[in-house]
Amino acid sequence: MKNQRLAMLSGLGAVLLWSTVATAFKLTLGYYTPLQMLLMACLTSIGVLALILSVQGRLAGVFRLSRRQYLQSLALGLINPFLYYLLLFGAFDRLPAQEAQPINYTWALVLAYLSVPFLGHTLRVTDILAGLVCYGGVVVIATRGNLSDLSFSDPVGVALAIASTLVWASYWILATRDRREPVAGLLLNFLFGLPFIFAITWWQDGLPPLASAGFAGSLYVGTFEMGLAFVLWSRAMKLATNTARVSNLIFISPFLSLVFIYLILGEVILASTWVGLILIVAGLWVQQSGSKRTGAGNVAND
């Protein structure tokens, strides 16, 4: 049953959770490596998603899928959580949160570009304009406003952040062919990705110590970033009578995230970060507005 009020509340809940995760990433990475954090967060998310499905009485359905769907889970699990979060956490490990977080929001624009060759969508003038504005914002943030010599504060970190947007957009393109129930599909992706995450973490960094503040941080990330936020956003989309109004809530998240970064992490938010973020959000708004006019639909963020 459609219910716009509940959809908006669910969407706001997801946005609030997403607004805290950049801070949680940085705090946790003070104790764990990106791989160790990914391992513990993935384990937590599996538990949370399994519990949600169990409460809903749908957990048994996870074990009644076809062989082809399980192979799909393996392929998608290598992309998300394995590759995507490895790149994203690597970016946050190298960059200040105020730099990594806004760049991550450009994935929706990347999705529009990749949809042209892979989904047969048409590239519009607004997509090109949005790209110029968004990536202008990325350059402002990455150079910390020093545009004269285009010297990035951390080229590797910026490259990891941009690569994560490519991977995340690719994941959503592949997910358009996924006919599984969303929460069950995500649980299986994480289950199939877990052995690879465990193996590379054990080989590269060793298993994470449990007697660490990083453990609590990983529990938070796995519960909210990888688990409940996705469930809330999916519920919001399902309940909405006007999905555009719900989708527009996502523009609150990057600005609210900077507030948490300032208050909790103590990062001094640079003027270049505000300028760059405003450009990125403006570019995404231009792209989304163009999609509405052509009936292309809206894209939600993770």
* pLDDT digits 0-9 by tens, 44-73: 999 999 999 999 999 998 988 899 999 999
Calculate what percentage of the chain has a pLDDT beyond 70: 95
Does any domain span residue 301?
no
- Of 207, 221, 190, nearest in space to 41 by CA: 221
pLDDT value of residue 123: 83
Structural domains of the chain, count: 1
Query: pLDDT tier at 175 (50, 70, 90 boundaries)?
Result: confident
- Rounded CA separation 188/280 (Å): 33
pLDDT value of residue 250: 84
Calculate what percentage of the chain has a pLDDT beyond 90: 64
Q: 203 to each of 124, 194, 269, how far by Cα in Å? A: 46, 14, 37
176: buried, middle or exposed (CB in 10 Å: 19+, 13-18, 0-12)? exposed
Does any domain span residue 300?
no
pLDDT value of residue 145: 84
Query: pLDDT tier at 1 (50, 70, 90 boundaries)?
Result: confident
Does any domain span residue 187?
yes
DSSP string computed for 36-53: HHHHHHHHHHHHHHHHHH
- Rounded CA separation 119/144 (Å): 36
- Rounded CA separation 280/46 (Å): 32
68: buried, middle or exposed (CB in 10 Å: 19+, 13-18, 0-12)? exposed
Does any domain span residue 20?
yes
pLDDT over 60 (residue 297):
no
| Residues 6+ away with beta carbon under 8 Å from 31 | 212, 213, 214, 215, 217
Tell me: the pLDDT tens digits for 141-156?
A: 998 888 776 677 789 9
Tell me: the pLDDT tens digits for 100-136?
A: 999 998 988 898 888 888 888 888 888 889 999 999 9
Alpha helices, DSSP H, located in the chain: 4-28, 34-55, 67-77, 84-94, 97-104, 107-119, 125-142, 155-175, 182-204, 213-220, 229-239, 243-247, 253-260, 271-294
223: buried, middle or exposed (CB in 10 Å: 19+, 13-18, 0-12)? middle
Which domain range does residue 91 map to? 4-294
- Rounded CA separation 200/203 (Å): 5
- Mean pLDDT score, 38-44: 97
**pTM of the entire predicted model:** 0.91
Does any domain span residue 271?
yes
pLDDT value of residue 293: 55
Does any domain span residue 299?
no
